[in-house]
A and B are shown apart, each in its own frame.
Chain A
Amino acid sequence: MEHRGLGWPRLPRLLELLAALAVQAVRASAVAAASPDLSLWPMPLSVQTTPRVLHLSPDNFFFGHSSTSKAGPSCSLLQEAFRRYYDYIFGFYKRHHGSADLRVGVELQQLQVSVVLDPECDAFPKISSDESYTLLVKGPVASLTANRVWGVLRGLETFSQLIYQDFYGTFTVNESNIVDSPRFPHRGILIDTSRHFLSIKSIFKTLDAMAFNKFNVLHWHIVDDPSFPYQSITFPGLSQKGSYSSSHVYTPNDVRMAIEYARLRGIRILPEFDSPGHTQSWGEGQKDLLTPCYNGKDPSGAFGPINPIWNTTYSFLSKFFKEISTVFPDEFIHLGGDEVDFDCWASNPEIQDFMRDKGFGRNFKKLESFYMQAVLDMISAINKSSIVWQEVFDDASKLTPGTVIQVWKVEDYTQEQSKVTEAGFPVILSAPWYLDWISYGQDWKKYYAVDPLSFEGSQEQKKLVIGGEACLWGEYVDATNLTPRLWPRASAVGERLWSHKDVRGLEDAYRRLIVHRCRMLRRGIAAEPVFTGYCDEDRM
Chain B
Amino acid sequence: MAGSALWFSLLLAAAFAGRATALWPWPQYIQTSEQSYTIFPHTFQFQYHVSSAAQVGCSVLDEAFQRYRDLLFGSVSFHFPQPMGKWHMSEKNSLVILVVTPGCDQFPSLESVENYTLTINDEQCFLLSETVWGALRGLETFSQLIWRSPEGTFYINKTEIEDFPRFPHRGLLLDTSRHYLPLASILDTLDVMAYNKFNVFHWHLVDDPSFPYESFTFPNLTKKGSYNPATHIYTAQDVKEVIEYARLRGIRVLAEFDTPGHTLSWGPGVPGLLTPCYSGSHPSGTFGPVNPALNNTYEFMSAFFLEISSVFPDFYLHLGGDEVDFTCWKSNPDIQAFMKKKGFGDDFKKLESFYIQTLLDIVSAYGKGYVVWQEVFDNKVKVQPDTVIQVWREKMPVRYTKEMELVTSAGFRALLSAPWYLNHITYGPDWKNIYMVEPLAFEGSPEQKALVIGGEACMWGEYVDSTNLVPRLWPRAGAVAERLWSNKMLTNLDFAYKRLAHFRCELLSLQIPANTRPHPKQESLEVSPPPRNFGV
A residues with CB within 8 A of B? 195-197, 226-227, 244-245, 248, 436-442, 475-476, 478-481, 483-485, 521, 526-534, 536, 538-539
A478-B526, A480-B535 are known contacts. Are A538 and B182 too (CB-CB below 8 A)? yes
Please give, as numbers and ranges, the residues of chain B lying within 8 Å of A534 by CB-CB distance.
Answer: 179-180, 210, 227-228, 232, 465
Contact between chains at A538 and B536 (CB < 8 Å): no
Q: Which residue on A lies nearest to B226, using beta carbons?
A: A534
A528-B465, A538-B182 are known contacts. Are A475 and B530 too (CB-CB below 8 A)? yes
Please encode chain B, from 179 to 217, with 1 for each CB lying within 8 Å of some chain A CB and 0 for all others: 110100000000000000000000000000110000000
Please encode chain B, from 461 to 472, with 1 for each CB lying within 8 Å of some chain A CB and 0 for all others: 111111110111
Query: Is B57 on the interface with A (CB-CB < 8 A)?
Result: no
Contact between chains at B182 and A531 (CB < 8 Å): no
Q: B471 touches which one: A440, A475, A484, A533 (CB < 8 A)?
A: A484
Please give, as numbers and ranges, the residues of chain A lying within 8 Å of B425 by CB-CB distance.
Answer: 438-440
CA separation between A248 and B525, bound complex, in Å? 9
CA separation between A162 and B244, bound complex, in Å? 45
CA separation between A475 and B471, bound complex, in Å? 14
Contact between chains at B231 and A529 (CB < 8 Å): no
Contact between chains at A196 and B528 (CB < 8 Å): yes
Chain A nearest Cβ from B468, distance in angstroms: 4
A538-B182, A539-B182 are known contacts. Are A248 and B527 too (CB-CB below 8 A)? yes
Interface size class of B (residues with CB under 8 A): 35 or more
17 additional contacts, CB 8 Å, given A484-B471, A532-B209, A538-B465?
Answer: A244-B527, A439-B426, A476-B532, A478-B533, A480-B536, A485-B468, A526-B536, A528-B465, A528-B468, A529-B463, A531-B462, A532-B461, A533-B179, A533-B209, A534-B232, A538-B182, A539-B231
Please give, as numbers and ranges, the residues of chain B lying within 8 Å of A439 by CB-CB distance.
Answer: 425-427
Please give, as numbers and ranges, the residues of chain A lying within 8 Å of B466 by CB-CB distance.
Answer: 538
Q: Of residues 458 to 512 in B, which have CB atoms within 8 Å of A's CB atoms?
A: 461-468, 470-472, 508
Chain B nearest Cβ from A99, distance in angstroms: 24
Q: Which residue on A lies nearest to B465, using beta carbons?
A: A529
CA separation between A27 and B178, bound complex, in Å? 29
CA separation between A528 and B463, bound complex, in Å? 7
CA separation between A439 and B463, bound complex, in Å? 11
Contact between chains at B427 and A480 (CB < 8 Å): no
Q: Which 6 A-B pairs have the closest CB atoms?
A: A481-B471, A484-B468, A244-B527, A526-B467, A534-B227, A528-B468
Contact between chains at A436 and B427 (CB < 8 Å): yes
CA separation between A36 and B461, bound complex, in Å? 32
Query: Is B524 on the interface with A (CB-CB < 8 A)?
Result: yes
Q: A483 touches which one: B231, B528, B536 (CB < 8 A)?
A: B536
Please give, as numbers and ranges, the residues of chain A lying within 8 Å of B232 by CB-CB distance.
Answer: 534, 538-539
Please give, as numbers and ranges, the residues of chain A lying within 8 Å of B461 by CB-CB distance.
Answer: 532
Q: Which residue on A lies nearest to B182, using beta carbons?
A: A539
CA separation between A195 and B463, bound complex, in Å? 26
CA separation between A441 and B178, bound complex, in Å? 14
Please give, as numbers and ranges, the residues of chain B lying within 8 Å of A479 by CB-CB distance.
Answer: 536
Q: A532 touches which one: B428, B462, B528 (CB < 8 A)?
A: B462
Chain B nearest Cβ from A155, distance in angstroms: 28
Q: Which residue on B lies nearest to A527, using beta carbons?
A: B467
Q: Which residue on A lies nearest to B232, using beta carbons?
A: A534
Contact between chains at A245 and B524 (CB < 8 Å): yes
Q: Which residue on A lies nearest to B209, using beta carbons?
A: A532
Interface centre among B182, B209, B427, B428 (most CB of A within 10 A): B427
Chain A nearest Cβ from B185, distance in angstroms: 10
A248-B527, A526-B467, A527-B467 are known contacts. Are A532 and B179 too (CB-CB below 8 A)? yes
CA separation between A476 and B427, bound complex, in Å? 8
Chain B nearest Cβ from A460, distance in angstroms: 37
- Main secondary structure, interface of B, reads loop
Please give, as numbers and ranges, the residues of chain A lying within 8 Å of B423 by CB-CB distance.
Answer: 440
Please give, as numbers and ranges, the residues of chain B lying within 8 Å of A481 by CB-CB distance.
Answer: 468, 471-472, 532-533, 536
Please give, as numbers and ranges, the residues of chain B lying within 8 Å of A475 by CB-CB distance.
Answer: 529-530
Query: Is B534 on the interface with A (CB-CB < 8 A)?
Result: yes
CA separation between A248 and B533, bound complex, in Å? 18
Contact between chains at B529 and A195 (CB < 8 Å): yes
Please give, as numbers and ranges, the residues of chain B lying within 8 Å of A197 by CB-CB distance.
Answer: 526-527
Q: Which residue on A lies nearest to B508, using beta carbons?
A: A480
Query: Is B282 on the interface with A (CB-CB < 8 A)?
Result: no
Q: A526 touches which one: B468, B527, B530 (CB < 8 A)?
A: B468
Contact between chains at A440 and B532 (CB < 8 Å): no
A438-B426, A439-B427, A441-B463 are known contacts. Are A538 and B231 too (CB-CB below 8 A)? yes
CA separation between A240 and B508, bound complex, in Å? 25
Pull 11 A–B residue pairs with CB atoms less than 8 Å apart, ordered by A: A245-B527, A248-B527, A438-B427, A440-B425, A476-B428, A481-B471, A529-B464, A531-B463, A532-B179, A533-B227, A538-B231
Please give, as numbers and ranges, the residues of chain B lying within 8 Å of A538 by CB-CB distance.
Answer: 179-180, 182, 227, 231-232, 465-466
Q: Which residue on A lies nearest to B507, using beta carbons?
A: A480
Query: Is B424 on the interface with A (CB-CB < 8 A)?
Result: yes
Chain B nearest Cβ from A447, distance in angstroms: 15
Contact between chains at A484 and B467 (CB < 8 Å): yes
CA separation between A476 and B531, bound complex, in Å? 7
Q: Which residue on B lies nearest to A517, using beta carbons?
A: B467
Q: Which residue on B lies nearest to A434, using beta carbons?
A: B427
Please give, as numbers and ranges, the residues of chain A lying within 8 Å of B228 by CB-CB distance.
Answer: 534, 536
CA separation between A323 and B345, bound complex, in Å? 83
Please give, as numbers and ranges, the residues of chain B lying within 8 Å of A441 by CB-CB distance.
Answer: 463
Contact between chains at B536 and A484 (CB < 8 Å): yes
CA separation between A222 and B232, bound complex, in Å? 41
Chain A nearest Cβ from B154, distance in angstroms: 21
Interface centre among A195, A480, A485, A526 (most CB of B within 10 A): A480
Chain B nearest Cβ from A540, distance in angstroms: 8
Please give, as numbers and ranges, the residues of chain A lying within 8 Å of B427 by CB-CB distance.
Answer: 436-439, 476
Please give, as numbers and ranges, the residues of chain A lying within 8 Å of B508 by CB-CB distance.
Answer: 480
CA separation between A417 and B425, bound complex, in Å? 31
Q: Of residues 235 to 265 in B, which have CB atoms within 8 Å of A's CB atoms?
A: none
Please give, as numbers and ranges, the residues of chain A lying within 8 Å of B462 by CB-CB distance.
Answer: 531-532
Chain B nearest Cβ from A535, distance in angstroms: 8
Q: Which residue on A lies nearest to B526, using beta carbons?
A: A478
Contact between chains at A480 and B471 (CB < 8 Å): yes
Chain A nearest Cβ from B247, distance in angstroms: 24
Contact between chains at A226 and B467 (CB < 8 Å): no
Chain B nearest Cβ from A247, distance in angstroms: 9
CA separation between A478 and B504, bound complex, in Å? 12
CA separation between A248 and B524, bound complex, in Å? 10
Please give, as numbers and ranges, the residues of chain A lying within 8 Å of B464 by CB-CB distance.
Answer: 528-529
Contact between chains at B424 and A440 (CB < 8 Å): yes
Chain A nearest Cβ from B231, distance in angstroms: 5
A226-B529, A248-B527, A534-B228 are known contacts. Are A440 and B426 too (CB-CB below 8 A)? yes
CA separation between A288 and B488, bound complex, in Å? 49
CA separation between A534 and B212, bound complex, in Å? 12
Please give, as numbers and ranges, the residues of chain A lying within 8 Å of B424 by CB-CB distance.
Answer: 440
Interface centre among B524, B532, B535 (most CB of A within 10 A): B532
Please give, as numbers and ranges, the residues of chain A lying within 8 Å of B529 by CB-CB distance.
Answer: 195, 226, 475
A196-B528, A528-B465, A531-B462 are known contacts. Are A480 and B231 too (CB-CB below 8 A)? no
Chain B nearest Cβ from A326, distance in angstroms: 30
Chain B nearest Cβ from A396, distance in angstroms: 31
Contact between chains at A532 and B471 (CB < 8 Å): no
Please give, as numbers and ranges, the residues of chain A lying within 8 Å of B533 by CB-CB distance.
Answer: 476, 478, 480-481
CA separation between A503 and B292, bound complex, in Å? 47
Chain A nearest Cβ from B505, distance in angstroms: 11
Please give, as numbers and ranges, the residues of chain B lying within 8 Å of A485 by CB-CB distance.
Answer: 468
Contact between chains at A528 and B180 (CB < 8 Å): no
CA separation between A538 and B466, bound complex, in Å? 8
Chain A nearest Cβ from B337, distance in angstroms: 35
Contact between chains at B426 and A536 (CB < 8 Å): no
Q: Which residue on A lies nearest to B528, using beta carbons?
A: A196
CA separation between A262 and B364, bound complex, in Å? 63
